[in-house]
Structure 1
Amino acid sequence: MLTHAEPTAGELTTTETNVRIYAWIVFALTVGLLLSDYMSRQVLNAVFPLLKTTWRLSDTRLGSLSSVVALMVGVLTFPLSVLADRWGRVKSIVLMAALWSLATLGCALSTNFGEMLLARAFVGIGEAAYGSVGIAVVLSIFPPQLRSTITGAFMAGGAFGSVLGMALGGAVAGHLGWRAAFGAMAAMGIVLVVIYRVVVTEKRLAPLQSATASREATGLGMRMSLRTLIKGLFSTRSVVCAYVGSGVHLLVPAAVWSWLPSFLNRYYGMATGKAAATAAVFVLVTGVGMVVCGGLADRFSKAGGGKKWSIAIAYCMLCFVFLTIGLRMPAGMAQLVFIGAGMFFCAGAAGPSGAMVANLTLPAIHASAFATLTLSNNLLGLAPAAVLTGVVADRIGLLGALQLVPFAPLAAAAIFVIGKRNYARDLERVNALREAAAR
């Protein structure tokens, strides 16, 4: 292990400005790794047409290459996040990022579908706990009133990473082939891992974390039994609704991001590179929507956190309306505009959902709480979306399959309604526990 001199807490906090600057540096690097995460995950979608031709794959098999990553994330996110809470979040982040980068390199070296599927599974293993651990690190160094904004901006990194993965991957694949596309994503990830390892340490993060969170972590985080942990994670009906609603509503971006390049290739006659670049624009719209929607949720819910539920419901309904109309229109610019409008709101509830999970759980178990949120996001939305869409597409066509996707946010809206009805009472219970833990 490398040893080097690190600044002490006193050196780090010589001025409040220095602390704030370092907090934003940590945020930028953590989001940077999230970009790498999704670049490695979504570059596959850019080369779907090439893999389909090269290995003569069905849509079901193509979808499985995408879904296996989310499946591994869903299955492993909770146990690995619990381990990260105990072993050290920063060390865990470095290890996970190194693994998914090397696995992406393995994708570039695959010679058949089986090898590619195995490599993609290891990409998922590496990414499994990153979202939950990364957001726990970020939330621990920013004030609570910014939670929806920070959560939305952090999760939007997935959309922006998908944009880069599709656009850059499609461009590289168009000139150098699909193997080079995977290799480029792997190289970027390895570079970011090295930078993160040098710049971010637990000791440097300590002065940025609140005294209350530190006391809770000391009193609960390391000594908490599994039974107590589970009880804390599922202590209220509203937090369960936040988990489930978030997962269900994310089926839309997962399905559309996976299949939009193929949709544009088949129904608009676009070549692989152009289809990937065009699809990347829609993913970018999703990312911008996540940031804007998260910011608006914080802005309009200052008087009461319960308004975040209403805002999340509104985002889901807008997504349902725009996509339902757009996917039933004839091919053309008007259809793409409506699809784009739907994609702007399709992940808008991610920020409010993350804020609700943070509000309804103790800081000492935030990594585990966000692991549970990630578990729900993957098992209910991200994992089944691509492969189920592929299975249906093999039977009724890709367009018919995509037309069913907008019903997911409609179901999510109903779940958020239940959460809203129970939120005020549940928050009082959690706040009482938080005050007791802080004493």
Structure 2
Amino acid sequence: MNDAAPLSAAAALATRIGKYRWRVCAMLLAATTINYVDRQVLGVLAPFLQDEIGWNEIEYGYIVTAFQAAYAIGLLCAGAVIDRLGTRIGYAIAIGVWSLAAMGHALAASVLGFAFARFMLGLGEAGNFPAAIKTVAEWFPRRERALAVGIFNAGSNIGAVLAPLLVPIVAAAWGWQAAFLCTGVLSVAWLVTWLLTYRTPEEQPKLSPAELAHIRSDPPEPTARLPWRRLLRHRQAWAFVAAKFITDPVWWLFLFWLGKFLASEYELSLAKIGPPMIVVYLMADVGSVAGGWLAGRLLKRGWNVNRARKGAMLACALCVAPVALVTQIDNLWLAVALIGLAMAGHQGWSANVFTLPSDMFPRHAVASVVGIGGFAGAVGGMAMSLFTGAQLESTGSYARVFLIAGIAYLLALLVVHLLVPRLQPARLEEKPHDV
């Protein structure tokens, strides 16, 4: 009886406040899922397109790097554009561009053709996370943001699960070109729904006054626009940039090289590569939500934002560390378990890292900070892709690559803690002394 009463009270409070903001979060989840289906198609088909198109490891590294270069450029611009245009129009433009680019892969027949298609895909997909993070900052109070980010970020794993589940079936039935074309239908459906339904909280007629008050329950924030040079004067911005630069390359590694690793190390065919990749990304999905949930749970237990966020990040970093040993394992499913644990750790880490800008910056600056950090992560990813391609071409071994992956998160957490020991908000209205 004692446990039921608090639960009933919590349910009644949630009912009074309303849940429309979670419908918005569901839209972000759907967009992120589509985003990752689009980008993961190549990762699933890579071992087999390599034979058909005739690229080597270094050339595949160039194709991956083309995506990351465009993603870096796009992220550097996307945050500022979305801050200026707003999430409704900015998000619509981004998904329109990446939908056309995803379908454009079907026309590619050479290394250069795939590199161009990947470049255009990267430009469009760069808008997803700045727009989604800004939407969360607009629709959720601070105490709910890590969970909301964790939920929509789970779409990256859902998309990565759907790709190895569906792509081999579509490719076997209608050819690899059809696998790229099919993603356009999902994108168009989401785009139409977004434009018809999305409004800011103040403009949304279906939002109750109680829920709007809940969303705006944090202290008032300044609204003046800030140039990047002012944002980059603050340690808080560099903490986010450093976290993304050090750890994003590991996610790029998993995303674009996992299929090749499993196919080469365990001699998996196109028909057999799907189940291990699905297990890995299902584990990552759990990690995404769990990482956001853990931070929120620690906050409810009375921890301050600094301890809760960094405590959750430490737990996630420790989950990634054992992946350094994966090249020493002969058993496929044990290797899948280690990689899945690492990817779960990354996604939980990411849910908390993506919340850092809204912890430390006002809403109007969040998308710009996320864009700058995403640029740094993509640059790090480019370096990792070139390094991985060169390593495989010269040694045929993933050992050094996975060693780097295993230590990256603990290093990143150390750097974040040194830059922002207390995770204090940036004082944007004053001349900064924290450079």
Per-residue displacement from partner, 1:311-347 (whole Å, max 9, x unpaired)? 3133223311x21223212244333333333332133
Query: What is the CA–CA distance in structure 2 between the aligned matches of 1:279 and 1:425, rounded to whole Å?
Result: 38
Question: How many pairs align?
Answer: 408
CA contact (8 A) 1:152 1:294 kept: yes
Question: Relative to structure 1, is the Cα distance of residues 394 and 71 closer, same or farther in structure 2, using a 3 angstrom cutoff?
Answer: same
How far residue 86 of structure 1 moved from its aligned partner, in angstroms, is 1.2
How far residue 272 of structure 1 moved from its aligned partner, in angstroms, is 1.0
Query: Counterpart amino acid of 2:103?
Result: L
Per-residue displacement from partner, 1:237-263 (whole Å, max 9, x unpaired)? 344223212331232222123222222
2:67 matched residue in structure 1: 69
Query: What is the CA–CA distance in structure 2 between the aligned matches of 1:162 and 1:408, rounded to whole Å?
Result: 19
CA contact (8 A) 2:78 2:130 kept: no
Per-residue displacement from partner, 1:154-186 (whole Å, max 9, x unpaired)? 222222212222322222112222101001112
Query: Counterpart amino acid of 2:66?
Result: V
Query: What is the CA–CA distance in structure 2 between the aligned matches of 1:338 and 1:126, rounded to whole Å?
Result: 32
Query: What is the CA–CA distance in structure 1 between the aligned matches of 2:54 and 2:421, rounded to whole Å?
Result: 54
Report the TM-score when normalising by structure 1. 0.84
User: Is it true that 1:339 corresponds to 2:339 in the alignment?
Assistant: yes
User: Is it true that 1:405 corresponds to 2:399 in the alignment?
Assistant: no
Query: What is the CA–CA distance in structure 1 between the aligned matches of 2:260 and 2:328, rounded to whole Å?
Result: 17
How far residue 41 of structure 1 moved from its aligned partner, in angstroms, is 0.7
Query: What is the CA–CA distance in structure 1 between the aligned matches of 2:19 and 2:130, rounded to whole Å?
Result: 23
Query: Counterpart amino acid of 1:194?
Result: V
CA contact (8 A) 1:148 1:355 kept: yes
Question: Relative to structure 1, is the Cα distance of residues 253 and 273 closer, same or farther in structure 2, using a 3 angstrom cutoff?
Answer: farther
User: Is it true that 1:366 corresponds to 2:375 in the alignment?
Assistant: no
**Aligned residue runs from structure 1 range 36-115, under 5 A:** 36-115=34-113
2:130 matched residue in structure 1: 132
Query: What is the CA–CA distance in structure 2 between the aligned matches of 1:85 and 1:431, rounded to whole Å?
Result: 16
Question: Relative to structure 1, is the Cα distance of residues 192 and 402 closer, same or farther in structure 2, using a 3 angstrom cutoff?
Answer: farther
Question: Relative to structure 1, is the Cα distance of residues 188 and 145 closer, same or farther in structure 2, using a 3 angstrom cutoff?
Answer: same
Q: Name the SS for the 2:361 alignment partner.
A: coil
How far residue 431 of structure 1 moved from its aligned partner, in angstroms, is 9.4
Q: Name the SS for the 1:272 alignment partner.
A: coil
CA contact (8 A) 2:146 2:293 kept: yes
How far residue 369 of structure 1 moved from its aligned partner, in angstroms, is 1.5
Question: Relative to structure 1, is the Cα distance of residues 43 and 285 closer, same or farther in structure 2, using a 3 angstrom cutoff?
Answer: same
Query: What is the CA–CA distance in structure 2 between the aligned matches of 1:46 and 1:172, rounded to whole Å?
Result: 12
Structure 2 regions of 5+ residues with no counterpart? 1-12, 431-435
2:414 matched residue in structure 1: 417
How far residue 58 of structure 1 moved from its aligned partner, in angstroms, is 0.6
Per-residue displacement from partner, 1:47-88 (whole Å, max 9, x unpaired)? 112211111111222233233222211122122221221122
Per-residue displacement from partner, 1:283-336 (whole Å, max 9, x unpaired)? 22122212112211221244112222243133223311x212232122443333
Query: What is the CA–CA distance in structure 2 between the aligned matches of 1:125 and 1:314, rounded to whole Å?
Result: 33
CA contact (8 A) 1:261 1:272 kept: no
Query: What is the CA–CA distance in structure 2 between the aligned matches of 1:258 and 1:201, rounded to whole Å?
Result: 35
Question: Relative to structure 1, is the Cα distance of residues 281 and 325 closer, same or farther in structure 2, using a 3 angstrom cutoff?
Answer: same
Query: What is the CA–CA distance in structure 2 between the aligned matches of 1:117 and 1:343, rounded to whole Å?
Result: 26
Query: What is the CA–CA distance in structure 2 between the aligned matches of 1:49 and 1:275, rounded to whole Å?
Result: 10
1:304 matched residue in structure 2: 304
Query: Counterpart amino acid of 1:220?
Result: A
Query: Counterpart amino acid of 1:404?
Result: V
1:188 matched residue in structure 2: 186
Per-residue displacement from partner, 1:28-52 (whole Å, max 9, x unpaired)? 1122111111111111111112211
1:319 matched residue in structure 2: 320
**Aligned residue runs from structure 1 range 156-305, under 5 A:** 156-202=154-200, 204-205=203-204, 208=212, 210-211=215-216, 216=221, 219-221=223-225, 224=226, 226=227, 229-231=228-230, 233-301=231-299, 302-305=302-305
CA contact (8 A) 1:77 1:372 kept: yes
Question: Relative to structure 1, is the Cα distance of residues 260 and 79 closer, same or farther in structure 2, using a 3 angstrom cutoff?
Answer: closer
Per-residue displacement from partner, 1:343-372 (whole Å, max 9, x unpaired)? 321333112212222111122211112112
Query: What is the CA–CA distance in structure 1 between the aligned matches of 2:411 and 2:277, rounded to whole Å?
Result: 29
Query: Counterpart amino acid of 1:234?
Result: L
2:24 matched residue in structure 1: 26
Query: What is the CA–CA distance in structure 1 between the aligned matches of 2:18 and 2:35, rounded to whole Å?
Result: 26
Report the TM-score when normalising by structure 2. 0.85
Query: What is the CA–CA distance in structure 2 between the aligned matches of 1:54 and 1:198, rounded to whole Å?
Result: 42
Q: Greater CA deviation, 79-88 or 95-104?
A: 79-88
Per-residue displacement from partner, 1:164-216 (whole Å, max 9, x unpaired)? 22322222112222101001112221221112111113464596485588964
2:8 matched residue in structure 1: none
Query: What is the CA–CA distance in structure 2 between the aligned matches of 1:273 and 1:86, rounded to whole Å?
Result: 46
Query: What is the CA–CA distance in structure 1 between the aligned matches of 2:233 and 2:423, rounded to whole Å?
Result: 8
How far residue 134 of structure 1 moved from its aligned partner, in angstroms, is 1.5
How far residue 236 of structure 1 moved from its aligned partner, in angstroms, is 3.4
Query: Counterpart amino acid of 1:364?
Result: H
Query: What is the CA–CA distance in structure 1 between the aligned matches of 2:25 and 2:333, rounded to whole Å?
Result: 37
Question: Relative to structure 1, is the Cα distance of residues 336 and 140 closer, same or farther in structure 2, using a 3 angstrom cutoff?
Answer: same
Query: What is the CA–CA distance in structure 1 between the aligned matches of 2:162 and 2:280, rounded to whole Å?
Result: 12
Q: Name the SS for the 2:50 alignment partner.
A: helix
Q: Greater CA deviation, 383-392 or 193-202?
A: 383-392
Question: Relative to structure 1, is the Cα distance of residues 33 and 46 closer, same or farther in structure 2, using a 3 angstrom cutoff?
Answer: same
Per-residue displacement from partner, 1:1-47 (whole Å, max 9, x unpaired)? xxxxxxxxxxxxxx996984432222111221111111111111111
Query: Counterpart amino acid of 1:414?
Result: L
Q: Name the SS for the 1:316 alignment partner.
A: helix
Q: Greater CA deviation, 272-281 or 355-364?
A: 272-281
User: Is it true that 1:149 corresponds to 2:147 in the alignment?
Assistant: yes
Q: CA RMSD in A?
A: 2.8
CA contact (8 A) 2:320 2:406 kept: yes
Question: Relative to structure 1, is the Cα distance of residues 41 and 261 closer, same or farther in structure 2, using a 3 angstrom cutoff?
Answer: same
* Amino-acid identity (%): 21
